[in-house]
């Protein structure tokens, strides 16, 4: 009979080998996904598009995890004032700002990861498997200042109306509101399936592509959106 101590040693060695293989497989999986995302983000859609000299100015912004599209409340024949009225905010006074920052994403991922500090592997893996529970995040903000995490983009009125149509089509009906992160924002039930291919950032890229703007063909990460502007 093999002593128990030998059994334990063999079991520990076996577990160590499988854990090492699992970690390697996970690293390869994430590495392949990151590589594919960067390649997809570097291949242009609407390659001939160039911004007009005049038009509707929007902004594309990132908090490091989520990309949002910032739009003027009234411009180019589009009026967003009924989308997120002041009554939906913790402090209705913020409705006086003249822009809305709009983003789409998976409900748990959105509500549980406001910043990188909140990011948990189980949240990422759960969302990556797929979910039909999606939300639209709407913030009342002043016009942002362009910088490293904020890019200014000018659209033709017809491009802007296509962008607005895509955003509105992502909202669920009937309207259902959820509490926001702060006093100036709220979440709303949305349409669409979230998974590793269709992330919050991929949605932002898809909205811009639908408008006719030059952007990557697949934009799963913030950099794959912002790098085009």
Structure tokens at 83: 């989308």
For residue 174, whether the previous peptide bond is cis, meaning omega lies within 30 degrees of 0, is: yes
How far is CA 104 from each of CA 60, 72, 166, 188, rounded to the nearest angstrom? 13, 18, 11, 9
Alpha-carbon distance of 126 to 144, in angstroms, equals 33
Strand partners, 155: 56
> Which residue is it, tokens 């997120």?
84
> Which residue is it, tokens 């490293």?
148
pLDDT digits (tens, 9 = 90+) for 25-75: 556 666 778 888 899 999 999 999 999 999 999 999 998 888 999 999 999
Strand partners, 100: 71, 140
pLDDT the model gives residue 36: 85
Domain extents in the chain: 44-226
pLDDT the model gives residue 194: 94
Interstrand relation of 67-72 and 56-62 (parallel, antiparallel or unpaired) = antiparallel
State the pTM of this model.
0.83
Contact status, residue 210 vs residue 162, Cβ threshold 8 Å: yes
pLDDT digits (tens, 9 = 90+) for 89-124: 999 999 999 999 999 999 888 887 766 666 666 666
| Nearest one of 17, 14, 19, 11 to 3, comparing CA atoms | 11
| Nearest one of 111, 106, 87, 130 to 190, comparing CA atoms | 106
Alpha-carbon distance of 142 to 148, in angstroms, equals 18
Structure tokens at 216: 């990557």
Burial of 126 (0-12, 13-18, 19+ CB in 10 A): middle
Q: Does pLDDT of 170 surpass 90?
A: yes
Cα radius of gyration (the chain):
21
């Amino acid at each position: 009979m093999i002593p128990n101590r030998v059994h334990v040693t063999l079991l520990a060695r076996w577990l160590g080998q499988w854990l090492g293989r699992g970690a390697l497989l996970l690293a390869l999986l994430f590495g392949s996904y990151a590589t594919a995302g960067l390649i997809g983000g570097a291949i242009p859609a609407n390659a001939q598009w160039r911004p007009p000299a005049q038009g509707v100015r929007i902004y594309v912004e990132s908090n490091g995890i989520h990309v949002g599209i910032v739009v003027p409340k009234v411009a180019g024949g589009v009026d967003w004032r009924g989308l997120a009225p002041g009554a939906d905010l913790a402090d209705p006074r913020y409705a006086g700002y003249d822009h809305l920052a709009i983003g789409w994403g998976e409900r748990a991922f959105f509500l549980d990861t406001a910043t990188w500090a909140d990011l948990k592997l189980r949240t990422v893996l759960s969302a990556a498997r797929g979910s039909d529970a999606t939300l639209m995040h709407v913030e009342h903000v002043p016009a942002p200042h362009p910088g490293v995490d904020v890019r200014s983009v000018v659209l033709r009125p017809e491009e802007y109306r296509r962008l607005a149509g895509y955003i509105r089509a992502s909202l669920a009906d009937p309207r259902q509101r959820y509490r926001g992160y702060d006093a100036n924002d709220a979440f709303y039930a949305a349409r669409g399936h979230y998974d590793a291919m269709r992330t919050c950032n991929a949605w932002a890229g898809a909205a811009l592509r639908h408008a006719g703007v030059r952007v990557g063909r697949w934009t799963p990460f913030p950099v794959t959106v912002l790098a085009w502007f």
